[in-house]
Structure formats: C-alpha cells, structure tokens
Structure 1
C-alpha cells in the first residue's frame, strides 16, 4: 500500500473528512485528495502535518508492518531505488528505521538535484538536525542563509520557515527530525 492510500485508510478509520484534515493541516482539500489518490508526493514537512492531524507518526505512513526493538538498515537498502520516496518538490528521501514505532526522532537520507528542486519553504513541529554528506547547498532558516559543505551540520527549530537550495548538481544530507510530542 502506498503512502496516499495509507493516509486515506487511517483517515476513514477515524471517521474524518478530507475537509477536516486539510483544515487542520493548513492546506486545501484538493491537495489532500491528490496525495491520497497518489497524484502528488508531498515533502516530509507536509507528511508531518498530516500525521500530526491524524494523531500518528510519519513512520506509520511509510511502513505498514511495525517492528519493535533495534532496526538495522544496510547500505544495500539505502541504494535500493524502490525504498526511496520521490517528492513533488524535486528531492528524494530514504527513511531509516521507518518500521520502528514510537521513535523520539526520525532519521532521513535526502538527495536533491539542483535542476529538479522546486523553490519552496517548509515549516513543521519539532526540531531538525542536518549533516551534509556530499555536495554544497544553501539552507535558509528564517531570514538567514547558510552554506553547507560536507561535514557541516546545522540544528534548528523546524517551526521556522526553512528551504534548501542545492549549489552543486547533487547534494546528499542526513536529517534527523525530533518529534516534540509527548
């Protein structure tokens, strides 16, 4: 089952309407419908808003089968293109340990190509840490723009508007999203 279908299933199990969820997320019913029907793949920040509105975690949308305990992800898994999610904003992500429920943080590997990323600002609950692996990108947080090179890291409040701007053809970075829900 894909992410959109899982969102729709969970929403219907909760006897909630698209209008209700979209309003709570701060976007249109039309966008939620496109997501649920697989016509668009939103950025992680939008998935976080939807999961918050549904009272679940993003990992509940990414994996159907939860597993307790230690989750080991191999390099082969991160190289498998079928395990990556390509967003409509022009970047792709791999969610580490997505099958683990009730995590305090969610690690992602992001890959963005300069000629594919669409300029867009993000904002969501929680805190975020980014560690640059390869390439160079500018990352705007609020009104301040930072240039990140391999080995650089940045930690910030995710409620601040933020945006990535690749400077090289391809950038890869690790991002940790800490969920501040109790």
Structure 2
C-alpha cells in the first residue's frame, strides 16, 4: 500500500514539474504539445493534475523537455551536478515553431538560478520575431554569425562575441551565416 501511495504522490506532482520545466524553457503549451504529438489541452490537463499521463506519454514529455522520467517523478536529487556530453546536447536539439533548435542544459537541476540553452539556427529557417520576458540574458556565439536585435539596436555577433541584456527589452535573432550555434543563458 505504501508503494502505491508513493507512486500516486509522485504522479500528482509531475504536472507541477512539467509546467516548471516548460516555463523555465520559455516554451508554450502548444510547442510542447506539438513536439510530443499530443493536444495542447492534454498537456494543460497533465500540468494541472487533471489527467494522469501514461508512461509512454511521460517518456515523450521528458524527451521534449530534455529530462528523464526519473527527472519528472523523483523528489530527491534535483540539485546534484549535471554533466552533459557534447554528443547528447547535439543529438537532443528540439526544433521550435520559430525555426531554431534548442537544447536545455541541466534540466534535472530544477532549483537552478539560471537556464542555460544551446541554440542552433539556420539561415532562412528562423521566423522573424521579437520577444520579451522577465530576467536577464547572456548570449555567447560558439560558431557562425547572427544579427541580434535588442530594443532598437541591432548587434552583429560572430564566434566569440557575447551580449548581455535586460530581457524585458524586445529581442530576437536572425542567422547571418548558413548556421549559427550559440549559448543563451536566462537568469
């Protein structure tokens, strides 16, 4: 009986963990739903504990959010060091509706103060857009080049360049090279 109660308690909290990961990654319900092959309303129900997801659904959601089922279900170990091999980051990039691909580093570390992401953007695939959100942001270009608009100013960034800014300012990127890879850290 204790095992069933433990599993049930963990399941009831999985919705909160999914919502927290999705919001920290600045992703919409629709983006996660589309990536999982589920409806937006189903993801919302899961996040609000109105539907208990199957194991197969949890696997899909965990993969899309860059974590594991254990990462969604376990209460302990959310603050241990997380090492990500380069091959894992590259192989688990997820394409967004805006045309760029992202990988959230250290998804399992759920109480972190910053949100590091690897972004890959290809020329002519990114949908022009500007966004705004709370916090601060640090962008470091690994390779390639891109134009980044922050407020009314455009910055031309190439490999090794960085930009730090208040994320409440409207901002967005556009690749200049065929492909650009950059680290983006939200705080």
TM-score, scaled to structure 1? 0.65
RMSD: 3.1
Taking the aligned partners of 1:62 and 1:75, their CA distance within structure 2 comes to: 14
SS in 2 for 1:65: helix
Q: What secondary structure sits across from 2:164 in the alignment?
A: strand
Identify which of 84, 88, 94 aligns with 1:73. 84
Name the structure 2 match of 1:125: 134
| Correspondences of 1:1-182 after superposition (within 5 Å) | 10=15, 32=29, 34-35=30-31, 37-38=33-34, 62-63=66-67, 64-66=69-71, 67-80=78-91, 83-178=92-187
CA distance in 2, matches of 1:143, 1:89: 21
Higher fraction of helix: 2
Contact between 2:146 and 2:158, CA under 8 Å: does it hold in 1?
Answer: yes
Output the TM-score relative to the length of structure 2.
Answer: 0.63
Kept in 1, the 8 Å contact 2:31–2:96? The answer is no
Gaps of 5+ in 1: 1-8, 15-30, 42-49
